[in-house]
Structure 1
Amino acid sequence: MSTVRAFRIFLFYLLLSSSALLWCTLSFFVAPLLPFRARYRFVNQTWCRCAVWLSKVLLGIHYEVKGLENIPATPCVILAKHQSTWETFYLSAQFEPLSQVLKRELLYVPFFGWAMAMLKPIAIDRSNPKAALKQLAKQGHERLEQGAWVLIFPEGTRIPAGQIGKFSRGGAALAVNANLPVLPIAHNAGEFWPKQGWNKNPGTIQVVIGPVLHAEGTGPRAIAELNDRAFAWVSQAQRDMGALETEASGNGSSAAA
């Protein structure tokens, strides 16, 4: 890594962390006075747009999006590939208001977690899958009824670039029970923002937003079938952009959230 590139990465993290501290501190005083949609725009959407802009200017990470016309007029369940932090920034800026399924421990992070807690996230305990599923079903349905998108990373964690993890059924179950479709999203952000380490690679991230997928019927069988179709679409989209090293051999989707 060159000295200039290392400096740019250092500067990026310095500005990202300092802006988060400043913005989250300001949010404590402003956000409680705002209705939820305006609060989301102020606390999360604005800062996430700043993060995407900083990664473009300082790290040389650009992006191209295909399929914006597939985004429905009313919120639904988003099932997105998970490789890095970048897609969290991008999706939080693109969809508003958005309620994200995340691990409960993130809410304890000073400033960042405290600000996130004001945005109605679905903060689950990963050590208790059964309770997490019930929480996702209840709170996810509430968020959808309140007019918020629900973002779920069905792989459960960041998967290294070139690979794809099994999709849990929690998101598909939420969509089926709410009588709403899922919106699948694929990307290759992990090639430029690796899961491990501080290094960042300049280039252009490809984001592909798929057509909404509707369940065929109700019940466990419809949930499993919808989840498998979402997995198949994301797998094929990853393969089409050259971001899947091995042939996906089927989802074998789990019931965990």
Structure 2
Amino acid sequence: MSTLQVFRTLLFYLLLSSSSFVWCIVSVFVAPFLPFRARYRFVIQTWCRLAVWLAKVVAGIRYEVSGLENIPQRPCVILAKHQSTWETFFLCGFFEPLSQVVKRELLFVPFFGWAMAMLRPIAIDRSNPKAALKQLAKRGNEFLEKGAWILVFPEGTRIPVGQIGKFSRGGAALAVNAGRPVLPVAHNAGEFWPKLGWTKIPGTIQVVIGPLMHAQGSGPRAIAELNDRAFHWVEQTQRRLSNVESPGAASSLTEPS
């Protein structure tokens, strides 16, 4: 990495962390007085868009989006590839209002977690997969009925560039049981914002929004088929974006992402 890029990366982290600290403090005092949609825009959407903007202007990480015509008017379940932190910022700033499946422990982080808790995310206990699945189904359906998008990273964690993790069926199960389609999303953000290390590499992230996928029927078989279909679309799209190793097929893991 050049000296200039080291400086740009350090400046990016300084601005990102300081803006996060200030915004979370402001949100804790302002957000409780706002209705949910306005609260989401104020707390999450504004700051996430700022983070994406800082990545572009300071670190040189731009992005292009294709497949916008595939986005439905009615909110549904988003099944997104997970490579870095960038896509979390981008998707939370792009879709609104949006509820994300997160680890319960994140809500206890001072200021950041407190601000996030006011957005009523689907906070799950990963150590108890069965309870987590029930919570995802119940809370996810409630949010969908209220007009919110549900963001699920079916791989469960950030997967390094060149690989695709197995897909949990939690997101597909939520979509089938709620009678909603899934919207798959692929990208190559990890090439410019790697999972490991602090390096930021200038370049253009390609975000591809896939075709809306509806379940063919109901029940476990329909859930498995929908999950497999979303997995294979993401797999094929990732192959076009970068060299990807495939685990062969989508997983039937019970824990949600």
- Say whether residues 1:192 and 2:192 are aligned partners: yes
Question: TM-score by structure 2 length?
Answer: 0.97
Opposite residue 60 of structure 1, the aligned amino acid is G
Instruction: Give runs of aligned pairs for residues 172-211 of structure 1, distance below 5 A.
Output: 172-211=172-211
| 1:49 counterpart residue number | 49
Secondary structure at the counterpart of residue 100 of structure 2: strand
| 1:132 counterpart residue number | 132
Opposite residue 250 of structure 1, the aligned amino acid is A
Instruction: Give runs of aligned pairs for residues 112-127 of structure 1, distance below 5 A.
Output: 112-127=112-127
Instruction: For 1:240 and 1:27, locate their aligned partners in 2 and report how far apart those are by CA, in whole Å.
Output: 40
| 2:159 counterpart residue number | 159
Are the counterparts in 2 of residues 228 and 253 from structure 1 also a CA contact under 8 Å? no
Are the counterparts in 2 of residues 103 and 124 from structure 1 also a CA contact under 8 Å? yes
**Unaligned stretches of 5+ in structure 2?**
none
- Say whether residues 1:9 and 2:9 are aligned partners: yes
Are the counterparts in 1 of residues 28 and 111 from structure 2 also a CA contact under 8 Å? no
Are the counterparts in 2 of residues 235 and 244 from structure 1 also a CA contact under 8 Å? no
- Deviation for aligned residue 1:105: 1.2
Instruction: Give runs of aligned pairs for residues 176-255 of structure 1, distance below 5 A.
Output: 176-241=176-241, 243-255=242-254
- Deviation for aligned residue 1:140: 0.6
| 1:76 counterpart residue number | 76
Opposite residue 86 of structure 1, the aligned amino acid is W
Instruction: For 2:243 and 2:109, locate their aligned partners in 1 and report how far apart those are by CA, in whole Å.
Output: 33
Which segment is superposed worse, 65-74 or 243-252?
243-252
Opposite residue 4 of structure 2, the aligned amino acid is V
Are the counterparts in 1 of residues 82 and 155 from structure 2 also a CA contact under 8 Å? yes
Opposite residue 252 of structure 1, the aligned amino acid is S
Equivalenced residues, count: 256
Tell me the percent identity: 75
Are the counterparts in 1 of residues 12 and 55 from structure 2 also a CA contact under 8 Å? yes
Cα-to-partner distance string for 1:79-121 (whole Å, 9 max, x where unaligned): 0000000000000011000000011111122211111111110
Q: CA-atom RMSD, angstroms?
A: 0.9
- Deviation for aligned residue 1:248: 4.9
Instruction: For 1:253 and 1:230, locate their aligned partners in 2 and report how far apart those are by CA, in whole Å.
Output: 13
